[in-house]
């Protein structure tokens, strides 16, 4: 987001927390769905609607929208897998998780995308009144051949959706585990875009499908530039995902993690919240750190000022880091959240002892 944000949405294990910013900083202004896990929440600047994906412990996955910043909510029919669809032979496909919600192109204000587990991308053309499965992706031969599998979730899931601001029909999605896919025809056909990635967990590390991109983000300032926090390092693409370059090294602070955010003004600038290896998945040496690169990943600067530096076991999930203009926010599974107003140079507490945090997204009222 290039604009300065004045709202902050935290999807947590115990509800959606909405913060507003005034002269004194961020303050909690609304707590919706108390006690219900919110897998993801975002604001659609085209329609003004808030969206929240609920992960009920008992009642399944629900999707709700609000036209008044969370004062009231309306549940819409959640995406459903058509009868007869199978994850694999003998395993019927049912909605397991609403992992990400992505507003469509600016020219299509009624269009909304939802990424789900077990691997279905859904699209709505009526502001969420109804959804349909994006058939060509679901029927992609690589999925049918069993090359999609669980990573982070029990079965494959779509956690990243990118709409090219230059072309409403140009889409990217990322699947854990399968990789990045691109469509240039509004979702009618898809091709894997995983060249340059290396999956250390596969016998064929360079497999075209089977990679584990934890999250991908397009640079607002240059839609050809993409960043990716992968299970096996940080990747960077300057040609629209056609080729990916590894820009981190095992053993260095910035390498393993889940989230990545790109400076809205400068495509070579990005942030990650590193964690200690996929074997342990917690803060490195008990200290929280954010890393920023200013040069397309050639070097990474550690940003620790204001972050706790002992007794930390936090990790930040893939949707729990965001940037708006010069501001940043991230939240952790330990229930700690931090904001920065100077591009990560200094951090302030948003809250400690919060519920586990799944998503952090800025918005502007």
Partner 1 sequence: MVSVQFTAHLKRWFPDLVPQEIDAPDVASLVRELEGRFPGLAGYIVDERGSLRQHVNIFVNREMLQDREALGDPLSPGDEVHVFQALSGG
Site residues for partner 1 per CB under 8 A: 56-60, 62, 75, 77-78, 80-81, 83, 92, 94-95
List all residues 6 or more positions away from 14 whose beta carbon is below 8 Å from its beta carbon.
Answer: 34, 35, 36, 37, 355
Least distance between partner 1 and beta carbon 92 (Å): 6
Least distance between partner 1 and beta carbon 305 (Å): 34
Q: What are phi and psi of 136, to 5 degrees?
A: -65, -35
Least distance between partner 1 and beta carbon 243 (Å): 39
What is the C-alpha to C-alpha distance for residues 216 and 262, in angstroms, rounded to an integer?
Answer: 10
Least distance between partner 1 and beta carbon 56 (Å): 8
Least distance between partner 1 and beta carbon 57 (Å): 5
Least distance between partner 1 and beta carbon 133 (Å): 11
Instruction: Tell me the sheet residues that pair with 361.
Output: 9
What is the C-alpha to C-alpha distance for residues 79 and 297, in angstroms, rounded to an integer?
Answer: 38
What is the C-alpha to C-alpha distance for residues 275 and 90, in angstroms, rounded to an integer?
Answer: 37
Instruction: Identify which of residues 117 and 322 has a Cβ nearer to partner 1 in the complex.
Output: 117
Instruction: Identify which of residues 57 and 141 has a Cβ nearer to partner 1 in the complex.
Output: 57
Residue-by-residue DSSP string for 153-200:
SSS-EEEEEEE-TT-TT-EEEEEETBEEEEESSTTSS-EE--TT---T
What is the maximum alpha-carbon separation in the chain? 57
Instruction: Identify which of residues 91 and 252 has a Cβ nearer to partner 1 in the complex.
Output: 91
Instruction: Identify which of residues 83 and 145 has a Cβ nearer to partner 1 in the complex.
Output: 83
Instruction: Identify which of residues 121 and 273 has a Cβ nearer to partner 1 in the complex.
Output: 121
Instruction: Identify which of residues 80 and 346 has a Cβ nearer to partner 1 in the complex.
Output: 80
Could you tell me whether strands 321-324 and 327-331 are parallel, antiparallel, or unpaired per DSSP bridges?
A: antiparallel
Least distance between partner 1 and beta carbon 83 (Å): 7
Among candidates 221, 227, 218, 236, which has minimal Cα distance to 163? 218
Least distance between partner 1 and beta carbon 93 (Å): 9
What is the C-alpha to C-alpha distance for residues 208 and 198, in angstroms, rounded to an integer?
Answer: 10
Least distance between partner 1 and beta carbon 170 (Å): 30
Instruction: Identify which of residues 95 and 241 has a Cβ nearer to partner 1 in the complex.
Output: 95
Instruction: Identify which of residues 116 and 160 has a Cβ nearer to partner 1 in the complex.
Output: 116
Instruction: Identify which of residues 65 and 276 has a Cβ nearer to partner 1 in the complex.
Output: 65
Instruction: Identify which of residues 71 and 189 has a Cβ nearer to partner 1 in the complex.
Output: 71
Residues 191, 44, 64, 132, CA torsion sign:
negative
Tokens 């192109």 belong to residue: 105
Which run of H or of E encompasses 280? helix 277-280
Residue-by-residue DSSP string for 108-152:
-TT-EEEEEETS-EEEESSTTS--EE-HHHHT-HHHHTT----SS
Least distance between partner 1 and beta carbon 23 (Å): 37
Among candidates 141, 144, 207, 137, which has minimal Cα distance to 175? 137
């Amino acid at each position: 987001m290039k604009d300065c944000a004045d709202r902050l949405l935290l999807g947590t294990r115990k509800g959606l927390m909405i913060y507003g910013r005034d002269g004194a900083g961020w303050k909690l202004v609304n707590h919706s769905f108390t006690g219900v896990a919110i897998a993801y929440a975002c604001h659609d600047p085209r329609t003004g609607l808030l969206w929240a994906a609920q992960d009920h412990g008992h009642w399944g996955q629900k999707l709700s929208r609000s036209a008044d910043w969370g004062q009231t909510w309306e549940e819409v029919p959640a995406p459903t897998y058509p009868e007869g669809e199978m994850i694999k032979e003998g395993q019927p496909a049912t909605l397991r998780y609403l992992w990400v919600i992505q507003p469509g192109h600016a020219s299509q204000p009624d269009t909304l995308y939802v990424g789900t587990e077990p691997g279905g991308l859904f699209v709505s053309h009526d502001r969420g009144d109804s959804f349909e499965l994006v058939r060509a992706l679901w029927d992609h031969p690589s999925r049918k051949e069993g090359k999609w599998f669980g990573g982070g979730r029990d079965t494959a899931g779509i956690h990243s959706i990118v709409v090219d601001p230059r072309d409403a029909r140009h889409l990217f999605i990322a699947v854990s585990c399968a990789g990045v896919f691109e469509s240039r025809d509004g979702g009618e056909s898809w091709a894997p875009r995983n060249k340059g990635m290396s999956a250390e967990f596969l016998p064929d590390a360079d497999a075209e499908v089977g990679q584990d991109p934890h999250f991908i983000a397009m640079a607002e300032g240059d839609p050809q530039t993409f960043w990716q926090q992968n299970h096996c390092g940080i990747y960077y693409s300057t040609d629209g995902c056609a080729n990916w370059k590894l820009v981190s090294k095992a053993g260095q602070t910035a390498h393993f993690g889940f989230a990545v955010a790109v400076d809205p003004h400068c495509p070579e600038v990005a942030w990650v919240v590193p964690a200690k290896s996929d074997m342990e998945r917690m803060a490195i040496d008990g200290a929280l750190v954010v890393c920023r690169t200013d040069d397309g990943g050639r070097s990474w600067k550690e940003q620790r000022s204001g972050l706790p530096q002992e007794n930390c076991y936090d990790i930040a999930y893939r949707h729990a880091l965001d940037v708006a203009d010069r501001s940043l926010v991230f939240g952790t599974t330990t229930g700690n959240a931090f904001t920065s107003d100077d591009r990560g140079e200094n951090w302030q507490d948003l809250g400690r002892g919060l519920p586990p945090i799944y998503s952090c997204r800025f918005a502007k009222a």
